[in-house]
Chains A and B, each alone.
Chain A
Amino acid sequence: MTRTVILGAGIAGHTAALHLRRMVGKEHDVVVVAPNSQWNWIPSNIWVGVGQMTVKQVTFPLAPIYARKGIEFHQALATELHPEGSADLPTPHVTVRYTDPARADEVAQLEYDFLINATGPKLNFGATPGLGPDGHTWSVCTAGHATETAKAFESVLANLKRGQHQTLLIGMGHGTCTCQGAAFEYTFNVEHELVKEGVRDKAEVIYITNESQLGDFGMDGMNFGHKGDVVPSQMFTESLFQERGVKAIMSAHVEKVEPGVAFYEQVDGTKGEQPFDFAMLLPPFRGADLKAFDKEGGDITGEVFAPSGFMKVDADYSPKPYEEWKASDWPRTYQSAKYDNVWAAGIAFAPPHQMSRPRTSPNGTVIAPAPPRTGMPSGVIGRAVAQTIAGRIKHGSEGKVHTASMADMGAACIASAGKGWRTGQAAAMTVFPIIPDKEKYGEMGRDVKETYGEIGLSAHWMKVMLHYLFIYKAKARPLWFLIPE
């Protein structure tokens, strides 16, 4: 009998838990530790943020699913990792603090044979003074945040209908943010709603980003193959901005936010300030606040985790300039660099470097989009790690090691630009591989036949279909496992 503990129940952790549960016998424990009681289909939060969906439509409680599948669930926050055991408990374990109201603040130690760290990101609003719902801006990172944002947006609409001019600032709240795609989606959903409500002419919509050019998306841009030609994602995205009358502040690091004004620095060192009536700015991410200790109780957090708080895995972390980055720098197995029974899946693994060229202003401010690790690769990684652990459980060290390098993996992304069965629009993009591989695909780094983008109503239907499909899968309904990640 073995015990696998999975920290986190987001896309990577939940996928890993469900797959591992079906792959190993009931005599083996699968345990999930997550601070939230609800599962959230995060890609649809942008629709909650404009009042087009409710929290109930994008979330569901985890406990009944886990009870039905025979997965042990602890609603708790992991705080310490003891991979070698400790003086009072010699087996590997994690220390958790319960967030479950019935056991609030109770501390426990959970032993494991195998551990998956799928803790996802910590929303680091503190990196920019005044950023976030506790400051002066809104967020769509969680369903709760998105609900509050929708209320603020409703007030903006009311003001516009009263004839007041409003400035809406949407984008990245720090120079090292990722998830430009989500900010892009929210921008165009807001713009779509303004048009629908007949108040677009009274509103200024401004996108602020750390990208050096539109369409970078933290992926160093893309080149879409189109009828024998190549269309850069920069042109594709700029066209949409021009068509919809959205202005942008490029290559920007937001330094601080005060009520109604964002202060920023651009990569050329110039400083600016942008007044706003409504701002939705995403925070940078960092790893969960997990400490690691050896069996003597010595702090080994720096050996197990990168300075960003994400877990070091089988990647090449040696510092090197952009020109020397290789696809092979990226991890394949996601096994911890230090412990062979620990893995990090989804956003929790430390990437070896960015994908986009990092830039520094003359004042020394780093303006470098962090690499995105979206739902599809997170799910694929979660499944691969579960398969590896299932192999270890069944065959010991002879078990097959499954790989899921983002350099061998494609991704499909649907970026909503407005909701509505007849009026909706979205950009459908496919990219292969996710990590540019210049050795294999030349200077463009990707296969232009497989890297593709188009805008239309059909892409909106795709996004709606994926919303229901992935919630069905996450609820582990009949034949859920046939739906790919």
Chain B
Amino acid sequence: MSDLTTFPNAPLPTDAQVRARSNLFIQAARFAVLNIKMIVMVTKGHH
């Protein structure tokens, strides 16, 4: 039979964190931040 692993000790996000992940205003701001982070990373990859 199989040996399934679960992760009961893994930290779960709080309700506020889960809501924030889908909140349009917060996510619009995160989208801008992510774009900047990606551009920085891309710049570092091009020599």
Q: Which residues of A contact B (CB under 8 A)?
A: 206, 214, 235, 238-239, 241-243, 247-250, 266, 270, 272-275, 376-377, 380, 383-384, 402-404, 408-412, 422-423, 425, 428, 430, 432, 450, 452, 454-459, 461-462, 484-485
Q: Which range contains the number of B residues in contact with the other chain?
A: 20 to 34
**When A and B form their complex, what is the total count of cross-chain residue pairs whose Cβ atoms lie within 8 Å?**
115
**Beta-carbon contact of A206 and B4 below 8 Å:** yes
The 10 closest A-B CB pairs, nearest first, are: A238-B10, A458-B30, A458-B31, A238-B7, A274-B2, A242-B10, A458-B27, A410-B41, A456-B21, A457-B27
Chain A proximity mask over B9-39: 1 for CB below 8 Å, otherwise 0? 0111100000011101011101100110110
CA distance A273 to B46 in the complex (A): 46
Q: Given A238-B10, A272-B2, is A454 in contact with B45 using a C-beta cutoff of 8 Å?
A: no
B11 touches A235 (CB 8 A): yes
Query: Judging by beta carbons under 8 Å apart, are B47 and A459 in contact?
Result: no
Report if A247-B4 is in contact (Cβ < 8 Å); known contacts: A412-B41, A450-B41, A455-B21: yes
CB distance from B25 to the nearest CB of A (A): 11
Q: Distance (Å) between the CB of A12 and the closest chain B CB?
A: 14
The answer to whether B3 and A270 have CB atoms under 8 Å apart is yes
Nearest to B6 among chain A residues (CB) is A247
- CA distance in complex: A380, B47 (Å): 9
Minimum distance in angstroms from B46 CB to a CB of chain A: 6
Q: Is the CB of B38 within 8 A of A430?
A: yes
Instruction: Decide: B46 and A242 in contact? CB cutoff 8 A.
Output: no
* List of A residues within 8 angstroms of B20 by Cβ: 456
Contacts of A404 on B, CB cut-off 8 Å?
45, 47
CA distance A241 to B8 in the complex (A): 10
Q: Is the CB of A402 within 8 A of B47?
A: yes
Residue positions of B touching A, CB distance < 8 A: 1-8, 10-13, 20-22, 24, 26-28, 30-31, 34-35, 37-38, 40-47
Nearest B residue (CB) for A430? B41
In-complex Cβ contact of B44 among A214, A409, A485 (8 A): A409
Contact of A458 among B8, B34, B40 (CB under 8 A): B34
18 sampled A-B residue pairs with Cβ under 8 A: A242-B6, A242-B10, A243-B12, A247-B5, A273-B1, A384-B47, A409-B44, A410-B41, A411-B41, A422-B22, A428-B34, A430-B38, A456-B27, A457-B21, A457-B22, A484-B42, A484-B43, A484-B46
- When distances are taken between beta carbons in the complex, the residues of chain B under 8 Å from A411 are 41, 45
Contact residues in B for A241 (Cβ distance below 8 Å): 7, 10
Which residues of A sit under 8 angstroms from B41, Cβ to Cβ? Answer: 410-412, 430, 432, 450
CA distance A462 to B30 in the complex (A): 10
| Cβ–Cβ contact A239 & B34, under 8 A | no
Complex Cα gap A452–B30 (Å): 13
Least CB distance, B31 to chain A, in whole angstroms = 4
Could you say which of B3, B7, B31, B43 contacts A214, with CB atoms under 8 Å apart? B7
Contact residues in B for A484 (Cβ distance below 8 Å): 42-43, 45-46
Closest to B28 in A: A458
- Are A249's CB and B4's CB within 8 A? yes
Chain A residue numbers with a CB within 8 Å of B46 are: 380, 383, 484-485
- Chain A min CB distance to B28 (Å): 7
B contact residues around A242 at 8 Å (CB): 6-8, 10, 12
The CB with the most chain A CB atoms within 10 A, among B4, B12, B31, B45, is that of B45
List, in ascending order, chain B residues with CB within 8 A of A412's CB: 37-38, 41-42
> A403-B47, A410-B41, A458-B27 given. 8 additional CB < 8 A pairs?
A235-B11, A248-B4, A383-B46, A410-B42, A411-B45, A422-B24, A425-B22, A457-B21
Question: Do residues A409 and B45 form an inter-chain contact, with CB atoms below 8 A?
Answer: yes
Nearest-CB distance from A348 to chain B (Å)? 19
Q: Which of B21, B26, B45, B47 contacts A376 (CB 8 A)?
A: B45
Contacts of B45 in A (CB 8 A): 376-377, 380, 404, 409-411, 484-485
Contacts of B4 in A (CB 8 A): 206, 247-249
Q: Which of A238, A247, A272, A425 contacts B21 (CB 8 A)?
A: A425
Closest to A204 in B: B4
Is the CB–CB distance between B2 and A273 below 8 Å?
yes
CA distance A234 to B43 in the complex (A): 27
